[in-house]
Amino acid sequence: MMPEERYTKLKEYLSSENPILLDVIENYKLLDEVGHKIGLITPEDTYTSHISWWPMISILGTFSAGKSTFINQYLGKDIQESGNQAVDDKFTVICYGENEESHTLPGLALDADPRFPFYNISDEVNKVDPGEGNRVNLYLQLKTLKSDKIKGKILIDSPGFDADSQRDGILRITSHIVDMSDLVLVFFDARHPEPGAMRDTLEHLVGATINHRDANKILYVLNQIDTTAKEDNLETVIASWQRAMSQEGLISGNFYGIYNESSAVPIDDPAQKERLERKRDSDLSKITQRMDKVGIERAYRIIKALEDFSKEMKEEKIPTLQKALKSWSKKVLITDFILWILIVVGFMFAESNMGLITNIMSSQIISIVSILGLVVILSTIHIKLRDIFAKFDANRWMKKDKSIANAILYNTKWWKPLFGHNSSKWSLKHSTKLDLLMSDARTYIQKLNDQFISPAGKEAQKEEK
């Protein structure tokens, strides 16, 4: 999908979801223009495809932690199989569909569709597990459901997590999901009396989320707390899990306890039952409220991403690229000079030993031919050197930063000036546009705030006008 086509589709979607973001699309188009001119993204790419425009909720957790049961309860339909054993080893993306009947589509439907947050995820899997990305259907599947609960958002159910048997591809996709999601629910099973026995799994699940820059979007859920009724030790079990998680670095966070009524164990003591139900209903209400309002958080993240992309390009990408191109041009210039000296000396030596030809042709013709030949040879060598050094530098950057690698190749084409990118005007021109985009992003945040808050009161604002 070309950028213009993507802009059009996004506008169609946002016109009904959040009109404020329609203006943000225009800013992303300007960001794309800067990225294209610098070479950080290709003409076919767009920064709008680097984020999810659909609100995303992801469910992670251990085997038999009740993730699928929770999803079915939230959606009001049994779309996910549930049970005590692992019933699915794929990431399942659930989104709204117009058909009354639910459909299951292969992972390729997600990998090849830029509207979803798993676009080209096969490339990411191949980076950590070569060849596995070609079997994306083993990792992903898409399910459609006609339910108002899922309309306007994407819900992701992960396979049961077991650190001992987890494939690199699964870990890579998990990391991708945490980065892209607006809300992450991490489920644990209260039936495990000793969370310390799950040390490796806790390390991976908590470790993958705790250091995230937006930790507030991650909720830790202790499910099936009804199993604590027999011993009446709810607080002890919760404390045990919290201690285990704190040992992995989670000192504080959003920690909840819930259970499913339909699959709960019988609770004979009315007081215990009432206490557990009160805890469940309170925490479940807080979780579902966050899930229902996830679209608001997504709007803020889309605007924040515009500011982050612009700031990163100005403060990191452009200076890094300039430094890399300066090194490249220096290598080309030095090698050019050395070869030029060698070739000139070679031509002088050749002319001084061409007595027979000189007697036949005029020295003036010889000089012209020599100069033209020298220019052609030096130009050919210069272009070749540019290409060789550019590819060498780009290959060094490919693993560290693909965008810088692509920008090096783009800015070292034979028709590009050798030192044009080192001028202050080159960076200032782009930096000015990026400063404007960052300023616009802050303005859009204020407009979003005005939808929900009014410190002075709306009536006071009207009077001021």
Non-local CB neighbours of 95 within 8 Å, separated by 6+ positions: 54, 142, 143, 144, 145, 150, 153, 154, 155
- Phi first, then psi, for residue 351 (nearest 5°) are -65, -35
- Cα-to-chain-centroid distance, residue 260: 33
- Phi first, then psi, for residue 247 (nearest 5°) are -65, -20
Say yes or no to pLDDT of 102 above 90: no
Q: How many helices (H) and strands (E) does the chain have?
A: 16, 8
State the CATH architecture for 55-292: 3-Layer(aba) Sandwich (3.40)
Domain ranges of the chain: 55-292, 315-438
Chain segment 303-343, per-residue pLDDT in tens = 999 999 999 999 999 999 999 999 999 999 999 888 878 87
Chain segment 182-234, per-residue pLDDT in tens = 899 988 888 765 555 455 566 666 665 665 556 678 888 999 899 888 777 88
Predicted pLDDT of residue 250: 64
The rounded distance, in Å, linking the Cα atoms of 421 and 438 is 23
Q: Which of 67-76, 163-172, 357-366 is modeled with the greatest confidence?
A: 67-76
Say yes or no to pLDDT of 368 above 70: no
Please state, for a pLDDT cut of 90, what percent of the chain lies above it.
28
Predicted pLDDT of residue 1: 63
- 179 — pLDDT class (breaks 50, 70, 90): confident
Say yes or no to pLDDT of 356 above 50: no
pTM: 0.74
Chain segment 374-393, per-residue pLDDT in tens = 678 778 888 998 999 999 99
Lowest mean pLDDT among 45-59, 67-81, 111-125, 274-288: 111-125
Beta bridge partners of residue 138, listed in sequence order? none
Contacts within 8 Å (CB) and 24+ apart, 30-36: 30/433, 30/437, 31/306, 31/309, 31/310, 31/313, 31/434, 31/437, 32/3, 34/313, 34/430, 34/433, 34/434, 35/313
Give, in order, the Cα–Cα distances in Å from 269 to each of 230, 231, 236, 264, 266.
Answer: 9, 11, 18, 14, 9
Predicted pLDDT of residue 421: 72
